[in-house]
Structure 1
Amino acid sequence: MIYFTADTHFYHEELLGMNDFAPRPFADVATMNETIVTNWNQRVQSEDQVYLLGDVALVPNKPTAFAQVNALLGALNGQIILVKGNHDNRAFFKYLKKHDPGTEAHPHYQFVDVGALIKINHRQYFLTHYPLLLGKVSQTVNLHGHIHHNMLPIAENINVGIDAPERELLKTPLPFGTPLSVADIEAILTAKQKALTQLK
């Protein structure tokens, strides 16, 4: 199975509490981190792939901090394909590559600097951290993160961040931090298309 998520912001203390940008009602970052790991692992199996579209963590630019994040990511099920976000730097990705908890034959991480394009069920998915303006498309969707609290008024732009408003379009709410499946993406796309049509 393939899953999608973004903006985990592990260790980002400033996001704790209720705020307009990315409300995360946790007492501390340890509780937030543990919640994300638990909910991720309840859905994702070891043989699955998860595209994490940027802003993995907010930590000092030091190997000791990178090691903390690596230990946390190592506890997550599945192979993680990391797309670079604005809070991710190349030193961090280089550290993860050098200290990959997987094996050479089956690495835990893959890395994408700007974005990826994948095809599933006759649909193209552009996977980026920042949202793209695709223009007029029929079978192409941009999965992105970055904007947290905003839903772009374009059906083909779907924010897959863990605190994105698109998640509220699902009939069954997902626990905080749960990566989205392809079926979730399709359900969100359908609901968003319907909602935007009704606004016209």
Structure 2
Amino acid sequence: MTIWYTADTHFGHENIMRFCKRPFKSASQMDAALLENMWKVVGTEDQLWILGDFAFSSRAKDSAYVEQIFNQLPGAERHLVVGNHDLKPTLELPWDSISHLVELLDGPGNQPNTLCHYPMITWNHVRKGGLQFFGHVHDSWRGSRNSVNIGVDVWDFMPVTFADIARRAKNLPPNKHWGDVEYRAKLNT
């Protein structure tokens, strides 16, 4: 079993193509490409974690539409980490879990990593190598050395694994505020 991560799919959202320069002619074409890319890598025994903004626009309010998209998702388990655009009926789909924040064991030694729709500056296990995965910012920021954007807009519209994320993290700059928050955190321990 492999764990796959993605964020900010925005199924059904016509305007996201203009906002993020997505290379699709319509939301239907985008939806089909996102699903096809998921099916290329996510196996039938795998987990798929979507870190927010599953669907957006008037189509996201259509129960039949979001259910039809959900039923096409690959994997044995499908999990949602809630984003700012995840409302009814997305929250009513039969996800294996729905959370706002998750610590998930993955990577070498099953390190605990923090999953949240939003980028964070610090989190539990950060000083022990735990990474933070986020979306929300689309293509405006890839993240920092320990907090990585896993959204479709910066990963060629593909889900990614821990190994992909860790590889990218090594090439990202340190967060310029890391010393501010972690210095104070060390004083309080």
TM-score, normalization by structure 2: 0.81
Contact 1:54 1:129 in 2 (8 A): yes
Q: What corresponds to 1:74 in structure 2?
A: 71
Contact 1:144 1:158 in 2 (8 A): yes
- Amino acid in structure 2 at the alignment position of 1:12: H
> Measured at CA, do residues 12 and 154 of structure 1 come closer, stay the same or move farther in structure 2, by a change above 3 Å?
same
- Superposition pairs of residues 136-151 of structure 1, within 5 angstroms: 137-151=127-141
Choose which of 147, 158, 182 in structure 2 pairs with 1:178.
158
Once superposed, what is the RMSD of the aligned Cα atoms?
A: 2.2
Contact 1:7 1:145 in 2 (8 A): yes
Q: What corresponds to 1:89 in structure 2?
A: 87
SS in 2 for 1:16: helix
Sequence identity of aligned pairs in percent?
A: 28
Work out the CA distance in 2 between the residues paired with 1:152 and 1:60: 28
- Superposition pairs of residues 39-54 of structure 1, within 5 angstroms: 39-54=37-52
TM-score, normalization by structure 1: 0.76
Q: What corresponds to 2:178 in structure 1?
A: none
Q: What corresponds to 1:104 in structure 2?
A: none
Work out the CA distance in 1 between the residues paired with 2:36 and 2:59: 26
- Amino acid in structure 2 at the alignment position of 1:76: L
Q: What corresponds to 1:188 in structure 2?
A: 168
Contact 2:60 2:66 in 1 (8 A): no
Cα distance, 1:61 vs structure 2:
7.9
Q: What corresponds to 2:116 in structure 1?
A: 128
> Measured at CA, do residues 32 and 196 of structure 1 come closer, stay the same or move farther in structure 2, by a change above 3 Å?
same
Q: What corresponds to 2:181 in structure 1?
A: none
- Amino acid in structure 1 at the alignment position of 2:70: L
Deviations 1:38-64 (A, max 9, x none): 11101111110011000000133886x
Q: Which runs of 5+ in 1 are unaligned?
A: 98-108, 168-175
Deviations 1:60-80 (A, max 9, x none): 3886x1221211121121021
Equivalent pairs, count: 169
